[in-house]
Amino acid sequence: MVALDKSEVREGVDRETIETVKAMSGTYKYGWNTEIETEYAPKGVNEDIVRLISEKNGEPEWMTDWRLKAFRRWEQMEEPKWAMLNYPKIDYQDQYYYAKPKSMAEKPKSLDDVDPALLATYEKLGIPLKEQMILAGVEGAAETPAEGRRVAVDAVFDSVSVGTTFKEELKKAGVIFMSISEAIREHPELVKKYLGSVVPQSDNFFATLNSAVFSDGSFVYIPPGVRCPMELSTYFRINAENTGQFERTLIIADKGSYVSYLEGCTAPKRDVAQLHAAVVEIVILEDAEVKYSTVQNWFPGDAEGKGGIYNFVTKRADCREARAKVMWTQVETGSAITWKYPSCLLRGDDSQGEFYSIAIANNMQQADTGTKMTHLGKNTRSRIVSKGISAGKAQNTYRGLVSVHPKATGARNYTQCDSLLIGDKCGAHTVPYIEVKNNSSRVEHEATTSKVDDDQLFYCRSRGMDEEEAVALVVNGFCKEVLQALPMEFAMEAQSLVAISLEGSVG
Amino acid sequence: MLEIKNLHVKLEEEDKVILKGVNLTVETGKVHAIMGPNGSGKSTLSYVLSGRDGYEVTDGSAVMDGEELLEMEPEERAAAGLFLAFQYPVEIPGVGNMTFLRTAVNAQRKARGEEEMSAGEFLKFVREKAKALKIDAEMLKRPVNVGFSGGEKKRNEILQMAVLEPKMCILDETDSGLDVDAMKLVADGVNALRSEGRSFLVITHYQRLLDHIVPDVVHIMADGRIVKTGGPELALEVEKNGYADLLAEVM
C-alpha cells in the first residue's frame, strides 16, 4: 500500500490506469467473452497442424523444420509429474491449437471497419482509445503518437498478435518490438541465432510442445548501449473456447542496453479448463539489464474448481556475458494450475539474477512455482524473495533450485521464502533445493510460515475497515517487498488484484 | 452517550460467565474510569463493547447515541464513533502507519456516506494531528507498531484516536507497561483530546493514571459487576487501602 501512497502524489501517472484499477470490483473482472468470429484449425495436434500454423504465419522453411523437429521430439516425451499439482489428465488432441479473429484477415482502413467486438474487448481491458486503434490495426494510426501513457503494447488475442503500438518511435531508437511471427519474416538472422538458445526445443514437455505449435508472441531486440525509451508491454488474452494459447517471447538485450518489460494476462470465464503453455527466452549480453514483470490474472476457475487456465510456462533468462543482470518480478493471482519457474542462468562473471514473486492461491487453485538460479560464472549473485499466500482450499508450493557450479567461485545467493495462510483448509509448502560445488560460495536460505492473525484483523476492523479490507491490508503488507519491485502502474494493479483474489477467503 | 444495561457475557468456547449484569451510563463529554482487581471483567467489557469474537452476550444491552452497539459489526461500531485504545496494540508488518490510518479513515467515511480523503489532503491532516500531540512525523512512515517501544505503541493508539475523531473512547489499561514519563506523555495526549462532545471510559488497574487523566466519575468493578461508584476520591481510596477492604465492605 505504500506504493499506492507514492503513486498518488507522483506526477505523470496515468489516471486512466488508476481509475481502471479502482473500478475493479466483484469477483473475476475479466470474465467476459468477446463474440468474435474466429477461424480455427481443426482440433488436435499432428505434423499437418504444425505445418498449417507455420504456413498461416508465412514462415520460411527453416522455421517449419524447426517446429517439426520439436514436434517429433514431443511425441516421445511424457508430461512431468513431479510438481505438487493434481489435475485431470489433459487430452492434447482435444484442443484447438490455432484460432484467429476473422476480422484480422484484412487490414481495416479506419476504426469503423474494425470488428466492434474486438474494440470493446480492448476498452474493457482499459487500453486507451488511441492504442485500441493501433492494436486493431487501423492503417495510419501508428503514425500519430498517443498522449499520456508511455508504454508500448503488443497484444496477443488467442493465438495471434493483433498489433503493436509505438513502433515508429521505438524504431528511431533502434529498438525492434514486434510480434514474433513478423520477426521471423523480417529479422530471420536474429531469430535463427537466438530462438531456442535459452530454452532448447528439448527442454521440457511443455516447452517442446510450445516450440512445435507456438502461433505468436512478442519479439524484442535492444541494440548495444540503448536504454529503451519506454516500457514495453505484452498483453495476452485467451478468448476462444477450447483453445490452447502457446505464445513465445524472445527478448535480446545487446551489450550495455536496458529494457523493462511488462506482461499482463487475462482470460474469460469458462467452465472447461483451458491450456496455456508459453515460453519466454531472454538473452542478456555484457553489461545489459532486463526487468521482466508479470501480472498473471488468468481465470482461476470457480470456487468449486471448475474451469480455469492450466498454466504451464517456461521462462528463462540467460545472463550470457559479464555483468549481465536480470530481474524477474511476478504476481500470480490467477490460473487453476500454475507450473512456472522463471529462471536465471548466470553464465557471465559478475552477472546477477533476482526473482521476486507473489503467488496467491484461493478456493481450489493450485500453484507450484519458484525459480532456478544456476551459478556458472565467477562472483555471480542471486536473490530470491518469494511470498506465497494460500486461502480457501488452495495449495501453494514454492519450489526453487540454487545450483552453484565448481567454476562459480565467490558466488552468493540469498533466498527468503515466506508463506501466509488464511483459514485452516489450505496448504503451503516450501521445497528448496541447494547444490553447491565449490567452497568459496555462500548460500543463505530463510523461510517462514505464518497465519493471518485474528488479532490483526480485529485491530483493523476496530478502526473501521471491513473484513476484506483488513485481509487485503495485512496481505499487501506481507507482500510489500515484492510489490515495491514492480513498476508503478503494475504495482497499483497488483495491489487491487491481491484484494480481489482473496475476496470471500475469510468469514 | 453510552448506556450499558444489565450486561451479561460468557465466553463462547467454555461455560464461564465473565460479566454478570453491568450497568453503566457515560454522559456526553464526561470521563468515567473503571478500576478493579485482575479478573474482574474490565478488559472483557472493552472487548465486548468493541465487538471482538469469542464472547457471547446472554442478556442486556449497550446503546451508544440511540444505537444498539451489540448488534453491529466491529467496523460499524467504529464508523458510529466508538474507539478502543488497545492494551496490547497489534503489529502489522509491511503496512505503513500512514497507509493504515488513511485506509481506516476512508473506510469510516465511506461507511458514513462521506467523501473519501485524497492522499495529499490526508497527509496534511495527519501531520497536523501528530504535531498537536508532539508525535514525530517519522513514526508515520514506520510499519504499524512494528519495533515500537511500549510507550510508542500507546502513543500511536492516541494518534489513531486523534485522527479518527471518535465520540466515545475506551482506553483499556493504557498505562500498563509504561514508566512514569511515558504515562505522562500518553495522558497529555488524552487530555488534549478531551472535549465537550467526546466521552471517555478509562479502564485501569492503578490509580496513578487518574492523577493525570482526572475522571468525573470512578466505578469499581469486581466479579463482573460495578460494585461502587463515586468521584475521583474513590480512586484515592483504592490507592490507599487496596481493593480488599473496599470489596469486603460492599460484598
Question: Does residue A232 register a pLDDT over 60?
Answer: yes
Listed by number, the residues of chain B in 199-238 with a beta carbon closer than 8 Å to a beta carbon of chain A are: none
> Is B111 inside a domain boundary?
yes
**Which of B51, B103, B118 minimises the CB distance to A465?**
B103
The answer, for A459 touching chain B at a CB cutoff of 8 Å, is: yes
Q: Does B116 touch chain A if contact means CB atoms closer than 8 Å?
A: no
Give, for B123, the enclosing helix (H) or strand (E): helix B119-132
Q: Which of A9, A461, A478 sits opposite B74 (nearest CB)?
A: A461
Cell of B200: 471517555
Same domain, B61 and B175: yes
Q: Are A293 and A251 in contact (CB under 8 A)?
A: no
How confident is the model over A392-450, as pLDDT tens digits?
Answer: 888 899 999 999 999 999 999 999 999 999 888 889 999 999 999 999 999 999 999 98
Residues of B in contact with A9 (CB under 8 A): 119-120, 123
Cross-chain residue pair A5–B96, CB shorter than 8 Å: yes
Query: How many contiguous H segments (helices) and E segments (strands) does chain A have?
Result: 14, 23
| B228 phi/psi in degrees, rounded to 5 | -155, 145
On whether any CB of chain A is under 8 Å from the CB of B69, the answer is no
A464 and B111: CB-CB below 8 Å? Answer: yes
Cross-chain residue pair B94–A455, CB shorter than 8 Å: no
* b (16+ CB within 10 A) / e for B17-33: ebbbebebebeeebbbb
| Confidence check: pLDDT of A110 > 90 | no
Statement: residue A364 has pLDDT above 70: yes
Please report whether residue B20 resides in a domain: yes
Range B202-221 burial, b when 16+ CB lie within 10 A, else e: bbbbebbbbebbebebbbbb
| Contact call for A461 and B96, based on CB within 8 A | no
One domain, residues B174 and B124? no
The three cell numbers locating residue A496:
487491487
Closest CA to B78 of B101, B108, B43: B108
| pLDDT exceeds cutoff 80 at A94 | yes
Residue B143 covered by a domain:
yes
To the nearest whole angstrom, how far is the Cα of B99 from the nearest Cα of chain A? 6
Phi, psi of A245, deg, nearest 5 = -110, 125
- Please classify residue A434 by burial: count the beta carbons closer than 10 Å to its beta carbon, then call 0-12 exposed, 13-18 middle and 19+ buried: middle
| B6 and B77 both lie in a single domain | yes
Q: Tell me whether residues B92 and A2 touch, CB distance under 8 A.
A: no
| pLDDT above 50 for A280 | yes
Cell of A205: 514437455
Percentage of residues in chain A having pLDDT higher than 70? 74
Q: Which of A:379-418 have CB within 8 Å of B? A: none
Bridging pattern class, strands B2-11 and B55-64: antiparallel
Domain residue limits at B37: 1-81+167-179+196-251
For residue B86, being part of any structural domain is answered with no
For residue A467, the chain B residues in CB contact (below 8 A) are 75
| Among candidate residues B165, B188, B219, the one where a domain is terminated | B165
A507 pLDDT more than 60: no
Q: By the 8 A CB rule, do B44 and B8 touch?
A: no
Judged against a pLDDT cut of 60, whether residue B195 lies above it is answered with: yes
Average pLDDT score over chain B: 92
- Residue B239: all three cell numbers together: 490507592
- Cβ separation A5–B75 shorter than 8 A: no
Same-domain status, B157 and B173: no
Q: Are residues B122 and B171 in the same domain?
A: no
Residue A171 binned pLDDT confidence (cut-offs 50, 70, 90):
confident
Q: CB–CB of B92 and A466 under 8 A? A: no
Distance CA A27, CA A11 (A): 31
> Is residue B9 domain-shared with residue B46, that is, in the same domain?
yes
For residues B105 and B149, state if they share a domain. Answer: yes
Query: Beta strand A279-284 with B67-68: parallel, antiparallel or unpaired?
Result: unpaired
Average pLDDT, chain A: 80
Beta-strand pair A309-319/A352-361: unpaired
- Nearest-Cα distance to chain A for B208, in Å, is 27
Is residue B248 one of the residues assigned to a domain? yes
Instruction: Quote the number of domains for chain B.
Output: 2
SS3 A278: coil
In the DSSP assignment, the letter for residue A227 is: B
Mean pLDDT value across residues B55-59: 95
Identify the CA nearest to A367 among candidates A402, A401, A330. Answer: A330
Residue B187 domain-assigned?
A: no
Domain shared by B3 and B52, yes or no: yes
pLDDT tops 70 at residue A482: yes
ipTM: 0.96
Indicate if B153 and B175 belong to the same structural domain: no
B174 and B71 within one domain: yes
Residue A154 pLDDT grade (very low, low, confident, very high; cuts 50, 70, 90): low
The residue assigned the cell 508511455 is A150
Looking at residue B216, which CATH number applies to its domain? Answer: 3.40.50.300
Distance from CA of A36 to the nearest CA of B (A): 40
Report whether pLDDT(B225) > 70. yes
A329–chain B Cβ distance below 8 A for any pair: no
Is A4 in the B-facing interface, judged by CB distances under 8 Å?
Answer: yes
The highest-confidence range among A88-97, A385-394, A464-473, B164-173, by mean pLDDT, is: B164-173
Q: For residue B171, which residues of chain A lie inside 8 Å, CB to CB?
A: none
Phi, psi of A184 (to 5 degrees): -60, -35
Pairing of strands B168-172, B67-68: unpaired
Asked if the C-beta of A79 comes within 8 angstroms of chain B's C-beta atoms, the answer is no
How far is it, in rounded angstroms, from Cα B97 to Cα B82? 20
Q: Which of A81-90, A188-197, A233-242, B114-123 has the lowest mean pLDDT?
A: A233-242
Q: Is residue B54 part of a domain?
A: yes
* Cα separation, A113 vs A103, whole angstroms: 9
Last residue of a domain, one of B142, B165, B188: B165
Indicate if the pLDDT at residue A6 is higher than 60: no
What's the pLDDT score for residue A73? 94
- Computed over its alpha carbons, how large is the radius of gyration of chain A? 22
Give A-chain residues touching B118 at CB under 8 angstroms.
8
The percentage of residues in chain A with a pLDDT greater than 90, rounded to a whole number, is 41
Contacts of B149 (CB under 8 A, 6+ apart): none
Residue from B95, B108, B141, B160 whose CB has the most chain A CBs within 10 Å, to mutate: B95
Nearest CA in chain A to B89: A459
Question: If pLDDT is split at 50, 70 and 90, which confidence band does A14 have?
Answer: very low
Contacts of A454 in chain B (CB under 8 A): 53
Cα atoms found within 13 Å of the Cα of residue A330, Cβ hemisphere only: 26
Per-residue confidence band for A149, with pLDDT thresholds at 50, 70 and 90: very low
A501 contact partners, CB below 8 Å, separation of at least 6? A297, A300, A333, A334, A360, A362
Q: Do A9 and B120 touch (CB under 8 A)?
A: yes
The pLDDT of B114-133, averaged and rounded, is 91
- Give me the residue from A9, A476, A479 closest to B119, CB to CB: A9
Is B102 inside any structural domain?
yes
B116 shares a domain with B47: no
Q: Is the pLDDT of residue B172 over 90?
A: yes
Nearest C-alpha of chain B: how many angstroms from A478? 6
Co-location of B70 and B120 in the same domain = no
pLDDT at A160: 55
Give yes or no for B119 touching A (CB within 8 A): yes
- Inter-chain Cβ pairs, chain A and chain B, closer than 8 A: 97
Q: Which helix (H) or strand (E) holds B63?
A: strand B55-64
Provide mean pLDDT across the span A168-183.
Answer: 87
Position A130: which residue type? K
The nearest CA of chain A is from the CA of B90 a distance in Å of: 6
Which of B55, B69, B75 is the best substitution to test chain A (most A C-beta atoms within 10 A)? B75
Is pLDDT at A20 greater than 50 in this prediction?
A: no
